[in-house]
Structure 1
């Protein structure tokens, strides 16, 4: 109601302005004709006229009415250059700020709620550099000032900042116009003020904030590097520390553009994904799934069979798979690509120098114009009392530790209900372990929607996993009777016996031992970087799990492109990392794949969405494969086919997601997906049918009603009157 009343007041004032003909006064001719009268009033009551003029100027500017330029000329004619400039400078800034505040009050919440995602980069830019942007716009008069006032009101820039930057930025233009007003008699049109040379001068002034920003960056850079002596020449264009996904891709790109690059890795090439994560876990998941399918062979018309296997052979297969993939990330391959690979420990000595400690103990120093840190992450081990005494494995160590076993651990406790914990819990349950999964939160896979986690929970429990949510691990104990994990649930302690304990409660960035503290590089659980992957030192960048915000192999590779390009060519052009479309998959059975926002996040962020759901139990291929469960859920802008997020739960969910990732990346809506031919019978048809569900919900009912009547007419369908006549004739 308050907003409606304010709108009414504004509308009445604007209407009154035009109704009483004030707009005719605020023209060059009107000003000239009334100048003598205005001058006599000023002589008689200088303070009253000055105050009234200032107030009127504020009102005209606040209401975004035409005539501010004419009033600026009038200020020069009436009050002279000095006082005219003072009055107009304050009046225009106050009026602009009022317009800014009104726009923010009336429209900001609505605009941000509806277009928050699209405005996020703008909001972040304004929050960081809003003063520079505003100053630039104020210096260049070709941008309508009233439009700047209204649009900036929709952004998060502070009102105080808006005021003082506006006053400072408009000062040059104010002086020019007020000075022109002192020569009002010689002016025949406003074009006399805005000559090409003057506009060029303003445009050059407009470059000042950009130049100032660049100078500030140079000053900041010099301050950061002040205590270090920059080398006169460099051994390498780029030094990369860490040969996981982020480091490998960074080095590959650098070598591809003929830079001299050195890649340093202390342990295994390929990083966590190849050696401990993606590759071995998916090999284990495949073996476990096959064992489960054998137990349920009757589902496919065969006889159920108890799988007979050697756990040691399964673990050997896992290592064989890793060995087969290994050449893709090998030292030999990267050396052939032009990358110098050094297997050693690396530490930053200064912003350009890396100390390399070789396995034999020798020390080497290399200088690089740029350095990329891609040191990855390692499993987090909770500091539970007694955990070191009872022993444990992580997602990194289990592959070697369990490879020594002839059978899967009889009783396995998995700490953690995230993707890693769920994948491994299900796999070991299918391979014969009695698995208890302990999660402190109220449900597993907390980042997903409840309907997703409900289905995942049902699947895990169907495979024999005992999932304990809302259970907090307290301590580990050991006695002659065995090993135990003590947990708390609703204030009551519970003891869980185990033969093996797997910690899968998350991963932490590797930050120690690389010289970050000595150089003052900021860390906050991860290395802190800007939008260009740069650290405190612009020539030292980071990529992958060590910097976040996503700990995915494909995200590390994505960041690596930006790190490599910005490191090598940042002096010409820098690229901000684009996180708009990041997919991920949890490889439980059924798979859980997602891209964009889900219902949970939409609610938390206040984003209005429309939800379209297609059940895979209706998909022909899912039925033929005996996997008719799960769903495709698409979130769109209400009433539109623009895709905001997709969740797929079902077999091949991660593969099916690729089509939606492509659509979102290139701004294609559900209508385009629906219009794409999908081979029959394939799992990919699920995407098309989901788009069809959306289309069906948005069918134009009124048009369809009239089309029905049209077709009735075309068939010659009799009307009620015709039916009565026909009945009478027949009788």
Structure 2
């Protein structure tokens, strides 16, 4: 394959060299074409096949190797062959040449690029698979956009060459017609700018507007195709029906009601979803209680003698459930009905794209809606582990029903949930073992970040088992144990058994996509089980959208709210303006101690994507507030464009990291660089000063050394030291004489 690429590259280089060395680039000018126009016509009359065939071949070769002059050849074709024959010949020659150019780019460059930029190209190719033909068509309709760039760029994607060919054939036709028509008046043109007469400018404007008209036409065609397949209602009960009353569904309902759309919200369980009932709220209440116990144990560091805390686990769980009750009114049925939302309790199923059947305890009701938003959330994933059926498995959903503190807890999974809950139960008095199949905790974070958390967990008595695979659950001594396998020092597998009174499974979450009739309607799922939606959160059905955990890729409450805004606005106003979801400045926090907070790229992600970054690091042991409180573990790490202060990502490890991260998130969202953060006054002594200090570390690494050297000389001169030294030299010289 490498040899073929080298031969092809050599051939192209020879053609390009021959073009310029022969002087063809100088001969192919408007003046020369005009001067030789009559001669070309005589030659065409004498040898039509030779001229047509030669013209066609030259045009194909020039387009294939992206040589300049295609516009002039198009004008010449119009002058020689007239509008009809000229358009026919040039249309096929240009399309064939463009397809060959795409094939050349694909052969020479695509494989190396895919090896280096696999994640980015995977997303691009996914978009190409969905709407690549339409994108190519709209680009072809704008003749002022360099076609050779389109040829080369699209050649690097996974678009089928046949699709590329026929879309280019159709898409380039209007622009080609404009230039061929101008070529008929070749003798009257004084320059290429003469092509752009008012009439032709109007033609180009219409061509430029055509993509938007075409998109609207495509949308209408999709709706009509759906209407033919299903019985589309002539009127609708609601503008939007939202399925799922978790974070995403509540935000979607709120936004729709705020703009006076008629919206129905269907939830089969409890409003508030996982975040309120089994996720964010109860876990943070538990984490806070566990942190209080840890602070009591460590109080002697500050001269406060408190001893070992007494844990009343029932009271701890009472605090957890009290937190849920106090937050609950924010997500209540009464609140949303007061906002104008029609809230229903029941199971929702799509009968067709516009009809949602809601099954309640009192019967069934069919709702009609112009749009449906799926926000059905996700649930804990329980692996297919032998022996697991013999025990009651704890998950982040049901552990809140515990009445007694687990004596021995094994946590399966070293991600954020496993680390947060494992540390909390250890601080409350459980003996905890944490099992992670990967070679580090928090697999999405950098190694130095995970190492800080691992060190703290180990110091607090958590047994951390990395690179360890769960095999099965086995009965032992009247209880149970998790049998695990890890590589030994000699490379052989080592089998161990970790006894437990409770097993907590925290290996991820799976989207709730079953039972809603989506599969029957052709709404697809991705490999990870989430619903397949595009960048505007639209499914394959133009009026069915998805947001939150069911859509992925980030199963975070604030990510769900972010998506819900986009899904709702795009559903209600997408015919006028469509918004794509951006995750570039999406923050995420793991609430361990120390906390881990990140926005944007990590070092690992930058490396995997081939993004060049500059890393600036500031250790919290240098921060006055951290020193005063005796909490100096952790650091701030910022990734920037090399040599510039533009922030590409930031990671903070340490106490209060989640709160400190907000400043970096704001900076990335609004394009604020490190220079401006350095110039912002921060209260002293606060942990947020670490943000400014990190910016200062970056600035110190980029100080203008040459300018500072000149300033040193200037100040020395101002102090008189230079003049004194000169006078001393003169004085010594005179003494010597």
CA positional deviation for 1:465? 0.4
Whole-angstrom CA distance in 2 between matches of 1:326 and 1:676? 38
Residue equivalent to 1:353: 355
1:593 aligns with 2:597: yes
Residue equivalent to 2:26: 23
Residue equivalent to 2:490: none
- Change in CA separation of 1:130 and 1:624 when aligned onto 2, cut-off 3 Å: same
- 1:424 pairs with one of 421, 438, 449: 421
| Deviation digits for residues 276-310 of structure 1 (CA, Å, limit 9, x no counterpart) | 11111111111111111111112222225211231
Structure 1 window deviating more from structure 2 (679-688 vs 48-57): it is: 48-57
Q: Is the 8 A contact 2:357 2:364 kept in 1?
A: yes
Residue equivalent to 2:344: 342
- Change in CA separation of 1:655 and 1:7 when aligned onto 2, cut-off 3 Å: farther
Residue equivalent to 2:453: 456
SS in structure 2 of the partner of residue 354 of structure 1: strand
1:656 aligns with 2:625: no
Whole-angstrom CA distance in 1 between matches of 2:68 and 2:512? 60
SS in structure 1 of the partner of residue 643 of structure 2: coil
- Change in CA separation of 1:422 and 1:629 when aligned onto 2, cut-off 3 Å: same
Residue equivalent to 1:397: 398
CA positional deviation for 1:98? 6.3
| Deviation digits for residues 78-134 of structure 1 (CA, Å, limit 9, x no counterpart) | 445555445433444455556667778899999999999999988765664444344
| Deviation digits for residues 579-605 of structure 1 (CA, Å, limit 9, x no counterpart) | 222111100000001111111111111
1:437 aligns with 2:434: yes
1:477 aligns with 2:512: no
Residue equivalent to 1:375: 376
1:273 aligns with 2:270: no
| Deviation digits for residues 405-447 of structure 1 (CA, Å, limit 9, x no counterpart) | 2xx2211111111111111110111111111111122221111
- Change in CA separation of 1:184 and 1:396 when aligned onto 2, cut-off 3 Å: closer
- Change in CA separation of 1:6 and 1:702 when aligned onto 2, cut-off 3 Å: farther
Whole-angstrom CA distance in 2 between matches of 1:174 and 1:530? 33
- Change in CA separation of 1:479 and 1:69 when aligned onto 2, cut-off 3 Å: closer
Q: Is the 8 A contact 1:595 1:661 kept in 2?
A: yes
- Change in CA separation of 1:314 and 1:183 when aligned onto 2, cut-off 3 Å: closer
- Change in CA separation of 1:645 and 1:217 when aligned onto 2, cut-off 3 Å: same
Whole-angstrom CA distance in 1 between matches of 2:325 and 2:670? 37
Q: Is the 8 A contact 2:16 2:65 kept in 1?
A: no
- Change in CA separation of 1:469 and 1:83 when aligned onto 2, cut-off 3 Å: same
Whole-angstrom CA distance in 1 between matches of 2:551 and 2:718? 67
CA positional deviation for 1:162? 4.6
Whole-angstrom CA distance in 1 between matches of 2:734 and 2:319? 86
Q: Is the 8 A contact 1:23 1:67 kept in 2?
A: no
1:499 aligns with 2:501: yes
1:698 aligns with 2:702: yes
Structure 1 window deviating more from structure 2 (169-178 vs 254-263): it is: 169-178
CA positional deviation for 1:248? 1.0
Taking the TM superposition and a 5 Å limit, the aligned residue runs for 1:707-718 are 707-718=711-722
Whole-angstrom CA distance in 2 between matches of 1:164 and 1:198? 25
Structure 1 unaligned runs (5+)?
none
Q: TM-score, normalised by structure 1?
A: 0.89
CA positional deviation for 1:482? 2.1
- Change in CA separation of 1:429 and 1:199 when aligned onto 2, cut-off 3 Å: same
Residue equivalent to 2:678: 674
1:647 aligns with 2:651: yes
Q: Is the 8 A contact 1:26 1:71 kept in 2?
A: no
Q: Is the 8 A contact 2:77 2:180 kept in 1?
A: yes
**What RMSD over aligned residues (CA atoms) do the two structures have, in Å?**
3.5
Q: Is the 8 A contact 1:114 1:607 kept in 2?
A: no
Q: Is the 8 A contact 2:119 2:609 kept in 1?
A: no
| Deviation digits for residues 660-684 of structure 1 (CA, Å, limit 9, x no counterpart) | 1111111121112111111111111
Q: Is the 8 A contact 2:216 2:575 kept in 1?
A: no
Whole-angstrom CA distance in 1 between matches of 2:511 and 2:575? 29
- Change in CA separation of 1:113 and 1:726 when aligned onto 2, cut-off 3 Å: farther
Whole-angstrom CA distance in 2 between matches of 1:370 and 1:572? 15
Residue equivalent to 1:538: 542
SS in structure 1 of the partner of residue 572 of structure 2: helix
Whole-angstrom CA distance in 2 between matches of 1:51 and 1:328? 75
CA positional deviation for 1:694? 1.1
Structure 1 window deviating more from structure 2 (105-114 vs 419-428): it is: 105-114
Whole-angstrom CA distance in 2 between matches of 1:594 and 1:119? 24
Whole-angstrom CA distance in 2 between matches of 1:189 and 1:284? 77
- Change in CA separation of 1:329 and 1:730 when aligned onto 2, cut-off 3 Å: farther
SS in structure 2 of the partner of residue 307 of structure 1: coil
Residue equivalent to 1:665: 669
Whole-angstrom CA distance in 1 between matches of 2:28 and 2:310? 97
Q: Is the 8 A contact 1:484 1:496 kept in 2?
A: yes
Whole-angstrom CA distance in 1 between matches of 2:720 and 2:122? 57
Whole-angstrom CA distance in 2 between matches of 1:232 and 1:25? 61
- Change in CA separation of 1:168 and 1:416 when aligned onto 2, cut-off 3 Å: same
Q: Is the 8 A contact 2:378 2:549 kept in 1?
A: yes
| Deviation digits for residues 369-405 of structure 1 (CA, Å, limit 9, x no counterpart) | 32222221111222222223222221111111x2x22
Residue equivalent to 1:411: 408
- Change in CA separation of 1:388 and 1:603 when aligned onto 2, cut-off 3 Å: same
Residue equivalent to 1:527: 531
CA positional deviation for 1:612? 0.7
SS in structure 2 of the partner of residue 545 of structure 1: helix
Whole-angstrom CA distance in 1 between matches of 2:12 and 2:153? 17
Whole-angstrom CA distance in 2 between matches of 1:21 and 1:371? 60
Whole-angstrom CA distance in 2 between matches of 1:50 and 1:631? 71
Q: Is the 8 A contact 2:410 2:433 kept in 1?
A: yes
Whole-angstrom CA distance in 2 between matches of 1:186 and 1:727? 86
- Change in CA separation of 1:63 and 1:296 when aligned onto 2, cut-off 3 Å: same
Taking the TM superposition and a 5 Å limit, the aligned residue runs for 1:311-350 are 311-350=313-352
